């Protein structure tokens, strides 16, 4: 996402595999707030300022040794998170949020909360132009963008088409990882079942832009 994001628009940043699926599952597990950092270095600096936060994320898909959790919805699904606050730093999703300095509204979305995101936009900014940003180049984010655009335009996109796009994207990721040394490969098998659950979460993830990060809040809708 190198293009400049226009100001005065509703901006929706998409990361299906895995950042914003991980964030959605964390909110489902009782997390109250997620501070999204544009890099692992900023994430570590935030943790030094806010030592009670759990640090979640990845570098090249893998959990840094000093992080509490990787960028994994599967890990989130088994964690004790009720009432906790997170700091999340990922290569694409949280970086994408940080590149939107002056939106009318800023949201994070995955397939898991795509319907709720459309409802939130329709209920709060129905007459505001929107921009959808795919943070990766693989098929899953583009499939989610098409699905969300269809919802916002009043059509009835098929969840099966979104799931097919997610699986195509997962295959692209797998082919890329297969070319790496074994120690650098990421196993997505446990995470994929969370990534392809369309509309499991009934809330939008709405961002508040801060000086060096974006804070996501869970907004039921």
pLDDT tens-digit readout, 56-95: 999 999 999 999 999 999 999 999 999 999 999 999 999 9
Q: How confident is the model at residue 3 (pLDDT cuts 50, 70, 90)?
A: low
On average, the pLDDT of the chain sits at 96
pLDDT at 2: 54
CATH class of 10-220: alpha beta
Crossing angle (nearest 10°) for helices 139-152 and 159-178? 160
pLDDT tens-digit readout, 148-179: 999 999 999 999 999 999 999 999 999 999 99
pLDDT tens-digit readout, 136-148: 999 999 999 999 9
Mean pLDDT calculated for residue range 2-23: 89
Q: How many CB atoms lie within 10 A of CB 211?
A: 4
pLDDT tens-digit readout, 172-208: 999 999 999 999 999 999 999 999 999 999 999 999 9
pLDDT at 146: 98
pLDDT at 187: 97
């Amino acid at each position: 996402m190198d293009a400049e994001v226009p100001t005065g628009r509703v901006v929706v940043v998409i990361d299906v595999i895995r950042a914003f699926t991980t964030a959605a599952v964390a909110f489902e597990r009782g997390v109250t707030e997620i501070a999204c950092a544009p890099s692992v270095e900023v994430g570590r600096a935030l943790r030094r300022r806010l030592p009670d936060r759990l640090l979640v994320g990845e570098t090249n898909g893998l959990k840094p040794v000093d992080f509490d959790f990787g960028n994994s919805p599967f890990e989130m699904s088994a964690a004790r998170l009720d009432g906790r606050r997170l700091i999340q730093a990922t290569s694409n999703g949280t970086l994408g949020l940080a590149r939107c300095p002056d939106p009318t509204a800023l949201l994070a979305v995955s397939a898991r909360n795509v319907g709720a995101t459309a409802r939130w936009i329709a209920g709060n900014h129905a007459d505001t132009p929107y921009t959808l940003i795919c943070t990766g180049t693989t098929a899953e984010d583009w499939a989610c963008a098409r699905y969300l655009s269809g919802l916002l335009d009043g059509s009835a996109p098929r969840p099966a088409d979104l799931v097919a796009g997610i699986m195509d994207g997962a295959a692209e990721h797998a082919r890329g990882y297969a070319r790496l040394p074994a120690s650098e490969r990421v196993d997505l098998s446990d995470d994929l079942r969370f990534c392809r659950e369309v509309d499991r979460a009934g809330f939008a993830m709405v961002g508040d832009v801060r000086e060096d990060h974006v804070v996501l809040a869970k907004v039921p809708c």
